Amino acid sequence: MPHDDAKLVSLNCGDCPIRHRAVCARCETDELEELERIKYYRSFEAGQTVIWAGDQMDFVASVVSGIATLTQTLEDGRTQMVGLLLPSDFVGRPGRSRAAYNVIATTDILMCCFRRKPFEDMMEHTPHIAQRLLQMTLDELDAAREWMLLLGRKTAREKIASLLSIVARRNASIQMRASERDMTFDLPLTREAMADYLGLTLETVSRQMSALKRDGVIELQGKRHVRVPDMDRLLLEAGDDSDGGFII
């Protein structure tokens, strides 16, 4: 039995930090009440495995806070990250009883879980949930496809620059100041996790980080704290279209 060490938490949906971005975003008050009855919280510490691929999984969940990764592995141990789970992201698939991927907590995380069967039943008569889940899944599919371009066609340097701009952009959107050229943030990932994200080795990640630093594209304070003096320069290094690939 996993999850033995999950701590118990209680939270009112109305006060939930991801209330307006998670699967429940479109739910009305009465629908929230129904969800409230089947939900429970679980927390995991940084480094813990939330679920192993192939495990029985009788819940689905939203990430409330913290960061987790979705990874896939080949028998010989080669591993590829296939998803990065941020607050409000959804874990699990309605209608599927076994996990398809490993879910690993990168930082301490809190998850809002729903027992799978009741959740599936509720989806049947609550279009608001299915609608929101569809929207979220379509967004994830777009992100996965962007990522495929990165994995298949970008150079190591471009891959690193792309990852940094993604993290920077996400950070900016949280702090609500996307316009500034100068950006500072903490990398939530180890070099190894970055390598698994980008389809590289950790040595290559390290070398390219050093190269970007040497070339003045980024500044490092410690291993994880990054300053980007010129965001446009970084985006250029990432090799994307100048607009960052946004489509409305």
Partner DNA sequence: CGAGGTTTTGAACCTAGTCAAGGGGCGTGG
Partner DNA sequence: CCACGCCCCTTGACTAGGTTCAAAACCTCG
40 exposure class (CB count in 10 Å sphere: 0-12, 13-18, 19+):
middle
Rama region for 72: left / alpha / beta (φ>0; ψ in -120 to 50; rest): beta
Would you give the DSSP letter of residue 26?
Answer: G
Supply the minimum distance, in Å, between the C-beta of residue 176 and its own copies.
Answer: 24
Nearer to its own copies, 55 or 230 (CB): 55
Which of its own copies, DNA, none has residue 127 at its interface (CB below 5 to 8 Å by kind)?
A: its own copies
**Torsion sign, CA atoms 24, 246, 79, 96:** positive
Supply the minimum distance, in Å, between the C-beta of residue 196 and DNA.
Answer: 11
Supply the minimum distance, in Å, between the C-beta of residue 140 and its own copies.
Answer: 6
**CA nearest neighbour of 84 among 110, 111, 108, 66:** 66
162-221 residues near DNA, rule: CB under 7 A: 190-192, 199-207, 209-210, 220
- Cα separation, 99 vs 69, whole angstroms: 13
**CA nearest neighbour of 42 among 57, 69, 20, 61:** 61
Give the list of residues 6+ apart from residue 107 with CB closer than 8 angstroms, or none.
Answer: 46, 66, 67, 188
Please select the residue that binds its own copies; options are 9, 117, 144, 181, rule is CB under 8 A. 144
Which of DNA, its own copies, none has residue 174 at its interface (CB below 5 to 8 Å by kind)?
A: none
130 contacts its own copies (rule: CB under 8 A)? yes
77 contacts DNA (rule: CB under 7 A)? no
**CA nearest neighbour of 101 among 69, 133, 60, 76:** 69
203 contacts its own copies (rule: CB under 8 A)? no
- What does the binding site for DNA look like in residue numbers (CB under 7 A)? 155-157, 190-192, 199-207, 209-210, 220, 222-224
- What does the binding site for its own copies look like in residue numbers (CB under 8 A)? 54, 70, 72, 74-76, 78-80, 82-83, 93, 95-98, 100-101, 127, 130-131, 133-135, 137-138, 140-142, 144-149, 151-154, 198-199, 239-241, 247-248
